[in-house]
Amino acid sequence: MYNINSYLSIEHLSISALCCLVIYLLLRYDEYTISKFLPFIIFLNESFYILSKILNDSFSLSTHLPLELCYLTNVLIFASIIFKFEMPFLYFASIFGALAGFINSNIANGDFFEYLRFYIGHSTLALFFILSNKNHYRVNAQKYFSAIKMTSFLLFIIFIVNISISSNYWFMFEKPSGINLTYLFPDWPHYFFILLSIGFIVYTITLFANNYYYNNIEFS
């Protein structure tokens, strides 16, 4: 029989709720300033994390690069804002990553900077998604399939990286540590295909929700 404490953490969910409250208050206070500072928050979050690992002489290419889906999405968000290009993948991946991160924890016995990176990193994903909607970002079938193709391409790249440096980015070969819902899933490789399926479902729901909003609510 499953123990709920093995796959859901009240402490983690409480901190996630606090992050959501902070996001709400920040956007309510000064949405424009937050949108301008978002890339710098992302940059500082990743930089301080990597620097902390280097200074502690614990940095490892196989575990500390920003190659997990959520952190990689953040890096691409940073690049898209600085260099002013559109990538539909970011809209879909940001909501998937934010939801996954706020519900699940993949940290076990982490240090302060790991937790800081985790919660700030997933909060910036949520901020990006909300700001995109506030700026009336619309998606269609073309952007949806573009996001799926980009996800597939990145999945292939991460697979090559994992094979090359014996890493587990995107939790491709091992379930994430910490307290999370993968505890309920079967072992490798089945759990990974379940994660991919959940991602596909979230992408699809996001497409229909976006279209429903702009077709039935915004101008009603």
| pLDDT confidence tier of residue 2, bands split at 50, 70 and 90 | low
Distance CA 75, CA 30 (A): 23
**DSSP string of the chain, one letter each residue:** ---GGGT--HHHHHHHHHHHHHHHHHHHHHHHHHHHHHHHHHHHHHHHHHHHHHHTT---TTTSSTTSHHHHHHHHHHHHHHTT---HHHHHHHHHHHHHHHH----SS--HHHHHHHHHHHHHHHHHHHHHHHTT----HHHHHHHHHHHHHHHHHHHHHHHHHT--GGGSSS--SSS-GGGGS-STTHHHHHHHHHHHHHHHHHHHHHHHIIIIITT-
Domain ranges across the chain: 4-217
How confident is the model at residue 178, as a pLDDT?
Answer: 86
Enter the pTM of the model: 0.94
How confident is the model at residue 159, as a pLDDT?
Answer: 98
How do residues 59-84 score in pLDDT, each as one tens digit? Answer: 999 999 999 999 999 999 999 999 99
How do residues 152-168 score in pLDDT, each as one tens digit? Answer: 999 999 999 999 999 99
Distance CA 30, CA 150 (A): 32
Report long-range pairs for 167-174 (Cβ below 8 Å, ≥24 apart).
167/61, 167/62, 167/63, 167/65, 167/67, 168/62, 168/63, 169/65, 169/67, 169/68, 170/67, 170/68, 170/69, 171/68, 171/106, 171/195
How confident is the model at residue 109, as a pLDDT?
Answer: 80
